[in-house]
Structure 1
Amino acid sequence: MDIRFLVTFMEVAQTRHFGKAAENLYLTQSAVSARIKQLEEYFNSALFIRNRNSLQLTVAGEKLLPFAVTLADTLEQARAAMNEEGIQYLSIASTPNAWDIYLKQGLDVVNSHLKDVSIRAEICNSEQLSRLVHEHSIDLALTTVPFKSDDVEILELSESMLSLCCSVALAKQPLEHLNISLDWGTKINEVIEKIYPEIKKAGMRTGSLQVALNYLSTNESAIILPEEIAQSLVSKGELVMLESLVPLSVKVYLIYLKHTKNAGLSQFIDVFTQMLKNKKGR
């Protein structure tokens, strides 16, 4: 059984409201309802009495609640005990583009600065990222589109200017072949469409930088890329950089809870902060 189902049950029991529980857990109300339904199926018992204006625990729900609390506490104690063994655990999740722009290279630097640290890294979308952070399922999140919450700290790690590039063979007429549209967020997309209305007819639309580059490797096209990514391809003779779109840029953000249960997290934050200072000092 997923421990998060019991955490959801405890939150509903405390708030006596599916909507408030969903808000506190940063889930949709339907997700909370689905978790409770699965628990009820697992225990073959109704856990709540659902009236029009009230929500009450059933006898079965009252019996389950202390066990749920004990189990959640026990798992938290187990996590703390593991961290005392000399090996710390750091869980990082990133959106695909934040991984390609920043973390793919940055993870080696993080590893070199953190001894006796076991890092778990995952890729997920922005919605999953927000949920995982607020559920304490991950310690750090990296994204190009920060989510709003009063419970998190947001640190800007990098900023990459966008530029128009194209396959070498298309350098003379690139805009006629602007066939790849990368999603950089609503505001940036709107500005790009004003500058290059041709991009509205792009045959390939994706939110993944890696997907776009894979497509570009077999299909000659113009494309808008972060300059750091573009320069590496230009140096290999695979692309021509046509013009910078300054001040249009894509940023990578580090996000973490203000009140975390990982006592050693400040050490990890210091590494990312130092990496940022080093980059600015170049």
Structure 2
Amino acid sequence: MFDAMDIRFLNTFIEVARTRHFGKAAENLYLTQSAVSARIKQLEEYFNTALFIRQRNSIKLTPAGEKLLPFAENLSHTLGEARRSLNDAEIQHIVISGTPNAWELFLQDELPDIQNQFSDLTVRAEVINNESMVRLLHERLIDLAFSLEPIKSDDVVSDCILTSSLALYSDKSQSVEDALEQYIHIDWGVKSSEAIEKQYPKVRRANFRTGSIQVALSYFARNGGSLILPDKIAECFGSTMHRLEMVPIEIKTYIHYLSDTNKRGMQEVINYLSGE
């Protein structure tokens, strides 16, 4: 059922009304077009009336949609003002989300330190995919996000907080060419993955691919092979991993937050995580 917690549905309606295009609204809201369509459908079911007239190359508001628009805009504005007013209070809790690899590289080590440093702060942490992370950040449902790639948005600050060098590891001492025959591909992000494939063209034929460090390590532990890892991750495997050579590629971990965040105390947390 639609309720006050689903103000994002009205915001979706406002964006579709503004752009007159489901695809553009989806892009601006960091949603899929099907998600936008589903939200509009639920609104129409809730109000028991059509809100848009869908034509081949454009859409326009129905008379009911025209009547709803000013109410939706006023409600969205009022709740936004309420949120900003509440955020002026001293920060008491924080929601942190990170992609699986950002979690492995950075968050799992830093979260205990955050709670030690800010003892009165309640922290909720979630592992999340990139698409959901960007959307929830814009919807202000998470405060801080972490990933291996910057977010391209005028509303979001993306700062590099960790740079990790990479090396090629194998389950046994052997030549690089032989090791790459059983390569386990970890997705380090578009640019890094492209750089790795340029350095080692043979990795394009990898039979096992994953976006998770933990999945790759589990597969390695059972089946052997080779993979490219930061040294700090490989060190946990001790002598079962053989470092074959340094890879001239670095991966970066980014912290993301909305540029207009105004929770008092938030900046101190951001500065702490950024090492400032």
Amino acid at match of 2:253: V
Task: Give the match for residue 27 of structure 1.
Answer: 31
Deviation by residue 1:158-209 (Cα, 9 ceiling, x = unmatched): 0110001111xx2135642432111123333233234333323322111111
Structure-2 separation of matches of 1:261 and 1:130: 19
Structure-1 separation of matches of 2:65 and 2:206: 57
Which residues of 2 match residues 158-177 of structure 1 at below 5 A? 158-167=162-171, 170-173=172-175, 175-177=177-179
Task: Give the match for residue 219 of structure 1.
Answer: 223
Task: Give the match for residue 280 of structure 1.
Answer: none
2:14–2:69 contact (8 Å) kept in structure 1: no
Aligned-residue offset at 1:263: 4.1
TM-score normalised to the size of structure 2?
0.84
Task: Give the match for residue 253 of structure 1.
Answer: 254
Superposed CA RMSD in Å reads 2.8
Amino acid at match of 2:51: L
TM-score normalised to the size of structure 1?
0.82
Structure-2 separation of matches of 1:36 and 1:182: 38
Structure-1 separation of matches of 2:196 and 2:29: 36
Q: 1:157 to 1:145 in 2, by over 3 A?
A: same
Gaps of 5+ in 1: 278-282
1:25–1:131 contact (8 Å) kept in structure 2: yes
1:140–1:255 contact (8 Å) kept in structure 2: yes
Task: Give the match for residue 12 of structure 1.
Answer: 16
Amino acid at match of 1:213: L
Percent identical: 44
- Which of 155, 158, 163 is matched with 2:159 structurally? 155
Aligned-residue offset at 1:142: 0.5
Task: Give the match for residue 270 of structure 1.
Answer: 271
Give the number of equivalent residue pairs: 269
2:52–2:62 contact (8 Å) kept in structure 1: yes
Which residues of 2 match residues 1-282 of structure 1 at below 5 A? 1=2, 2-14=6-18, 16-50=20-54, 55-59=60-64, 62-63=67-68, 66=71, 69-70=74-75, 73-74=78-79, 77=82, 81=86, 84=89, 88-167=92-171, 170-173=172-175, 175-178=177-180, 179=182, 180-234=184-238, 237-245=239-247, 247-260=248-261, 262-273=263-274, 276-277=275-276
Aligned-residue offset at 1:232: 2.7
Deviation by residue 1:44-80 (Cα, 9 ceiling, x = unmatched): 2212344665622533662585267437735873785
1:22–1:28 contact (8 Å) kept in structure 2: yes
Q: 1:111 to 1:176 in 2, by over 3 A?
A: same
Secondary structure of the residue aligned to 1:244 is: strand
1:92–1:139 contact (8 Å) kept in structure 2: yes
